[in-house]
Amino acid sequence: MRVGILTLGQQSTFCLIRNISASGALVRLFGRLAPGSAVGFRVGDEDAIGGRIIWAENSLAGVEFDQEICPAILLRVAQKVEMTRRRGAPRLAVELAAVVRTGGRVHRVTMCDLSMQGARLKAKEPIHFGEALYLHVGGLPCLKGFVRWKSDQEFGVVFENPLPMQVIASVFG
């Protein structure tokens, strides 16, 4: 099972891929999508694949892809044994006000995207590579993390403990 994201317009929701083939997937939804909805289907940092929700019942749904794919490449079967810097977890695009506490300072930041393992943030004041921090975002528990990368006013945070998909889905689903 892998985590994916289904996107409908500007709305994104997590899904858990239970079965995948060249023409579609069986997913567990963590949001509401109606049969017939045209969606983008994404795993990790791969490009979205166009598709359509064919059926939905309880929390399960069938997704039919617009074109055939190679499931092994999408799920990165070969990459799991190689060293790689590519993201394995999909990210939800968000734009939320947040607060970061680090080194006795409080910074008002904007969260730009979020995954189970981390987030991309934007700050006006400098936050340094490697710093430990606490991230406060409405609806989510306080998240302890570390600055993993920095570029101008943006920086990436890796969480000390992964944020459960169900918690993210309950807030953003």
- Among the residue ranges 7-21, 66-80, 86-100, the one predicted with the least confidence is 66-80
- Give the position of tokens 């983008």: 40
Bigger pLDDT: 62 or 140? Answer: 62
For residue 89, give the nearest of 53, 49, 119, 51 by alpha carbon: 119
Ordered structural domains, the chain, with CATH: 2-81 (2.40.10.220), 92-172 (2.40.10.220)
pTM for this predicted structure: 0.60
Q: What value does the mean pLDDT take over residues 4-19?
A: 85
| pLDDT tops 50 at residue 57 | yes
Bigger pLDDT: 36 or 79? Answer: 36
**Beta strand ranges found along the chain (DSSP E):** 2-8, 11-20, 24-29, 38-43, 49-57, 60-65, 92-102, 105-114, 118-123, 132-136, 143-151, 154-159
- The contacts of residue 102 (CB under 8 Å, 6+ apart) are 127, 131, 132, 133, 134
pLDDT category, 93, cuts 50, 70, 90?
confident
Query: What confidence score (pLDDT) does residue 76 get?
Result: 62
Strand partners, 165: none
- Among the residue ranges 67-76, 92-101, 138-147, the one predicted with the least confidence is 67-76
Q: Largest Cα–Cα distance in the chain?
A: 52
Render pLDDT for 95-119 as a digit per residue (tens, 0 to 9).
889 999 998 899 999 999 988 889 9
Query: What confidence score (pLDDT) does residue 65 get?
Result: 95
- Give the position of tokens 């944020």: 163
